[in-house]
Amino acid sequence: MVQNKKVITNGRVIDPAQGLDRVADVLVADGKIAEITDAPLTEVPDGYEAIDASGLVVTPGFIDLHTHLRDPGYEWKETIGSGTEAAARGGFTTVSAMPNTDPCQDNAAVVDDVTRRAARDAVVRVLLIGAITKGRKGKTLSPMGELADAGVIGFSDDGDPVSDSNMMRQALSYSSSLGLPIINHAEVHSLVRGGVMNEGPVATRLGLPPVPASAESVMIARDIELAMLTGGRLHVPHVSTAASVDLIRAAKQRGRNVTAEVTPHHLTLTDSWVYGLRGEVPDVVTAVAYDTNTKVNPPLRSAEDVAALRAAVADGTIDIVATDHAPHAATDEVCTYDEAAHGINALETAFGQVMQLVHEGVLSLNDLIALLTSRPAAILGRKSGTLAAGSEADIVLLDPDAEWMVSPNDFASLSRNTPLAGATLRGRVVQTIYGGLSVWDSRSVAAVTS
Ligand SMILES: [Zn+2]
């Protein structure tokens, strides 16, 4: 089993779960972390494959709690195979598939089917999120106990909110007995009213229907109140506004059982990106002055909101980064802004994007790695997201300073919908190891093509 014995030499090993940050060697055997040596090895032990990590950072594989794999039902956008390959390229060794599939993951039969196919087709670990309500229609609770028995890690109707407050109350009550989070897409439909981008000067100038920030925060306020009432576990997905951050911070100060996530795009892009000029503001607005790839739900927000989100990850109010990877076909984007689908293709660009916060001094590299590894593992309540001896050998090798240009045609994802096409990111995933096996190695790709 030579291929499953590896020693990763001379890397800067960062494992926030163990408070570890030092140059060391990581030994992997039979799919598990065997040891992190105190002193770097002088020679490679017999039977081990050596991976040189000099100048690189070695961390646990990233864990994404919010992923749309589109399978079953929308396999032209993404499949379990292509989506997990995109994950591997992005440094993610665990993804969590949202249930807005067709059929919907609202019963054990569908969950069992996806689990079985993931065991066959996925190159990284796929966890499943079950629907809160049947068909995600908000009318009847899904069989949450049955879904929990089938192995789901939480419940969400993502893409749609649970608008009925009593339905949300019941879901949170069940969640506390099941020990799993309710992940409610926070959006008050009656405030959105056909809006397609953030309410503010950019929407006014482009003449696009606006979505007010309160469409999100009003529902988060309700959900926090209901979590207090029931003792249920609330996880707030893709937080996007300063007001939402204030609510979550206040809830945590009162010791409430609330966690929250933010996406790479909400941390780094403002609504000025809607102009399609990578954040530049045009002097003259033309008839085609927008990029449909910036359409996302919740929408890209103001610079003040982005600043509040950054402060919230820095002070721990927001617990994790999650991608909300939402692949869409070209036909969903080559259209008017109104007609375009919501969502950004995020797995392969996530690390380079969030590294911006480290380069700009908002976060330390250690803190950023925690947002992607130990913190999501804590929300899952699993012994993962660490390089502790005996853990699954899910490892990523990173070059925090490598610059690369985003070329969507090179994505492993079946879709190309990113506003970052042609942008340069600083921070690259060099190699991803899942269960002791290499599932992505940018160096071997470079060797083949050069
Ligand atoms: Zn959502």
Percent of the chain's residues with pLDDT above 90: 91
The token pair that represents 125 in the structure block = 């670990």
What integer pLDDT is reported at residue 147 of this predicted model? Answer: 98
pLDDT at 104 over 60: yes
Enter the DSSP assignment of 91. T
Let me know whether 308 and 404 are in one domain: no
Mean pLDDT of 56-61: 98
The identity of residue 210, as a single letter, is P
109-157 pLDDT, tens per residue? 999 999 999 999 999 999 999 999 999 999 999 999 999 999 999 999 9
Let me know whether 410 and 361 are in one domain: no
d(CA 78, CA 329): 9
pTM value is 0.96
Does residue 194 fall inside a structural domain?
yes
Which residues have beta carbons under 5 A from ligand 1 (an ion)? 158, 185
Q: Answer with the one of 343, 358, 380 that is the final residue of a domain.
A: 380
Residue 430 · residue 24 · CB < 8 Å: no
d(CA 20, CA 366): 9
Q: Which residue's structure tokens are 């799919």? A: 31
Pick the catalytic residue: 324, 332, 394, 441? Answer: 324
CA of 164 to the centre of ligand 1 (A): 17
pLDDT at 287 over 80: no
CA of 64 to the centre of ligand 1 (A): 14
- State CA 423 to chain mean position distance: 20
Domain total in the chain? 2
Does residue 124 fall inside a structural domain?
yes
pLDDT at 40 over 90: no
pLDDT at 44 over 60: yes
Q: Answer with the one of 348, 380, 412 that is the final residue of a domain.
A: 380
> Which band of pLDDT confidence, cut at 50, 70 and 90, is reported for residue 2?
very low
What integer pLDDT is reported at residue 449 of this predicted model? Answer: 46
CA of 366 to the centre of ligand 1 (A): 28
d(CA 424, CA 432): 21
Let me know whether 83 and 129 are in one domain: yes
pLDDT at 448 over 80: no
Let me know whether 225 and 293 are in one domain: yes
Which residue from 159, 303, 194, 188 is spatially nearest to 240, judged by alpha carbons?
A: 303
pLDDT at 170 over 70: yes
Residue that wins the pLDDT comparison between 4 and 374: 374
CA of 401 to the centre of ligand 1 (A): 31
Let me know whether 232 and 125 are in one domain: yes
Mean pLDDT of 252-256: 90
What integer pLDDT is reported at residue 98 of this predicted model? Answer: 97
CA of 16 to the centre of ligand 1 (A): 28
Does residue 387 fall inside a structural domain?
no
Does residue 367 fall inside a structural domain?
yes
Q: What is the CATH number of the domain that holds 424?
A: 2.30.40.10
The identity of residue 438, as a single letter, is S
Q: Answer with the one of 380, 406, 437 that is the final residue of a domain.
A: 380
302-351 pLDDT, tens per residue? 999 999 999 999 999 999 999 999 999 988 888 899 999 999 999 999 99
CA of 236 to the centre of ligand 1 (A): 9
Residues 6+ apart with CB under 8 A from 254: none
What integer pLDDT is reported at residue 288 of this predicted model? Answer: 65
pLDDT at 398 over 60: yes
Which residue from 233, 159, 221 is spatially nearest to 189, judged by alpha carbons?
A: 159
Let me know whether 174 and 292 are in one domain: yes
Let me know whether 361 and 375 are in one domain: yes
Does residue 91 fall inside a structural domain?
yes
> Which band of pLDDT confidence, cut at 50, 70 and 90, is reported for residue 4?
confident
What integer pLDDT is reported at residue 444 of this predicted model? Answer: 85
Mean pLDDT of 44-67: 95
Q: In the predicted model, what is the mean pLDDT of the chain?
A: 95
Let me know whether 36 and 117 are in one domain: no
What integer pLDDT is reported at residue 165 of this predicted model? Answer: 98
Residues 6+ apart with CB under 8 A from 296: 265, 324, 326, 342, 343, 344
Does residue 366 fall inside a structural domain?
yes
The boundaries of the domain holding residue 265 are 61-380
Let me know whether 215 and 314 are in one domain: yes
Respond yes or no: is residue 157 known to be catalytic: no
Does residue 337 fall inside a structural domain?
yes
Does residue 281 fall inside a structural domain?
yes
Residue 126 · residue 112 · CB < 8 Å: no
Let me know whether 300 and 176 are in one domain: yes
> Which band of pLDDT confidence, cut at 50, 70 and 90, is reported for residue 450?
very low
Q: What count of other Cβ atoms lies within 10 Å of the Cβ of residue 179? A: 9
What integer pLDDT is reported at residue 42 of this predicted model? Answer: 76
Let me know whether 108 and 42 are in one domain: no
CA of 304 to the centre of ligand 1 (A): 21
> Which band of pLDDT confidence, cut at 50, 70 and 90, is reported for residue 447?
low
Let me know whether 160 and 200 are in one domain: yes
Q: What is the CATH number of the domain that holds 274?
A: 3.20.20.140
> Which band of pLDDT confidence, cut at 50, 70 and 90, is reported for residue 54?
very high
